[in-house]
Structure 1
Amino acid sequence: MNIDFLQILSAFIVLFAVIDILGSIPLILNLKKRGETIKPFQASSVSLIILLVFFFMGEPLLGLFGVDISSFAIAGAFVLLVMAFEMIFGVHIFRHDSPAGASIVPIAFPLIAGAGTFTTLLSFRAEFDNINIIIALVLNIVFVFFVLKSTDRVEKIIGKGGVYLLQKFFGIILLAMSIRLFLSNFADLLVQFFPVLKG
């Protein structure tokens, strides 16, 4: 067990950008206006359980299809890249349009525990220690809980302009992290296929 503050911080920032709960405040407020009941603890706990199960079982599942972590990390880098473009340029690629209950769907899944978060967690395993990833994930879910509990207050505090700025800022961070994730894992794959490049 090797707890590393820098790894926790890096993982926290990327997960924060991917989950983007602050950027989802308009969606959450819209659900509430439609009469949907959102239970913060239920949404947070369910999403955490889903993500932890996928975090520990995702690699064996990938093994069934003959996919290694480096390859999945590169695929994840492309997913993060697309999400970064979505945040920076205001385009909508991932849709959250399920008619089911709001606390579980779409809040817990796929808004919090969605394809981007799944991909990010597995991608992290190629770079960070598990304990640091889990700590960063739990901290993010705690933050998600408090945001869900006080969405109206958060919007009033930071305003629509603040939400917009946060989306752009974390979109740029996510873009940079996706490029770094791609380059580091692409280098590993090159070494696997061309051992002469090692060293």
Structure 2
Amino acid sequence: MQTNVKDILTVSFTLFAIIDIIGSIPILISIKNKMGGIKEIRATLISGGLMILFLFLGEPFLNLLSLDVGSFAVGGSIVIFILGLEMVLGAEFFKSEKDVRAATVVPIAFPLIAGSGTLTTIISLKANYTQTTVLLGILLNLIVVFVVLKSLKFIERILGPGGMIAVRKFFGVVLLAIAVKIFATNAHGLIK
């Protein structure tokens, strides 16, 4: 299999849809306000590191722990569901310790950016495309992630308080739906 532009674009757009950094803007702004900031470069590098690590070692690592991709996806879907509930209900389930470094890893780098959906998609893409193609798709998405993280203040200013509430509630419901879909797709094989 050769690396070509069409394949790179296909992989990039697939990952872009799964990462859904645009849809995560309301929760990222909420986390940023709660924590007093986000370390954008750190969040981008950690999530990128997780994706690249999973590209090369994902399946063997899960097998070592006697886990399958479905179990991993179900666990991630529960975290995504709780984040969606937080957005819709305005409740705080993830208690903030006012530590920007901790928030950079959980929940920003994982599961928002490099979540179970993203990591399982990387494994799936690897079955159809070269590692180089998937790696380039990951790197292109990391550039978009960094730009969005750097632009949160600007985006918040454009939307205003009322717009932020509306967008947060809407995308909270979208997150809940994504979590339910990931759970439903992967849970059936776990219950025996």
Alignment TM-score > 0.5, same fold: yes
Taking structure 1 as the reference length, what is the TM-score of the superposition?
Answer: 0.66
Secondary structure of the structure 1 residue equivalent to 2:67: coil
| Equivalence for 2:16 | 12
What displacement does 1:9 show? 5.2
Deviations 1:111-158 (A, max 9, x none): 4212454433334357x4246976775555333322333333222111
Deviations 1:9-43 (A, max 9, x none): 565344226982443225435666xxx7x664454
**Hey, what's the Cα distance between the residues in 1 that align with 2:53 and 2:98?**
22
Closer, same or farther in 2 for the Cα pair 1:82/1:22, shift >3 Å? Answer: closer
**Hey, what's the Cα distance between the residues in 2 that align with 1:23 and 1:187?**
29
| Equivalence for 2:118 | 121
| Equivalence for 1:185 | 186
- Structure 1 position 109 matched with structure 2 position 105: yes
Closer, same or farther in 2 for the Cα pair 1:93/1:144, shift >3 Å? Answer: same
Deviates more, 1:136-145 or 1:52-61: 136-145
Runs of 5+ in structure 1 lacking a partner? 194-199
Contact 2:77–2:179 at 8 Å: present in 1 too? yes
Correspondence list, 1:33-72, <5 A: 40-72=40-72
Closer, same or farther in 2 for the Cα pair 1:30/1:90, shift >3 Å? Answer: closer
Taking structure 2 as the reference length, what is the TM-score of the superposition?
Answer: 0.67
| Equivalence for 2:145 | 144
Aligned residues: 182
What displacement does 1:73 show? 2.0
| Equivalence for 1:197 | none
**Hey, what's the Cα distance between the residues in 2 that align with 1:12 and 1:185?**
21
Contact 1:14–1:173 at 8 Å: present in 2 too? no
Contact 1:80–1:174 at 8 Å: present in 2 too? yes
| Equivalence for 1:87 | 87
Identity of aligned residues (%): 28
Contact 1:21–1:112 at 8 Å: present in 2 too? no
RMSD, aligned α-carbons: 3.8
Secondary structure of the structure 1 residue equivalent to 2:27: coil
What displacement does 1:96 show? 4.3
**Which structure has the larger Rg?**
1
Contact 2:74–2:182 at 8 Å: present in 1 too? yes
**Hey, what's the Cα distance between the residues in 2 that align with 1:172 and 1:134?**
31
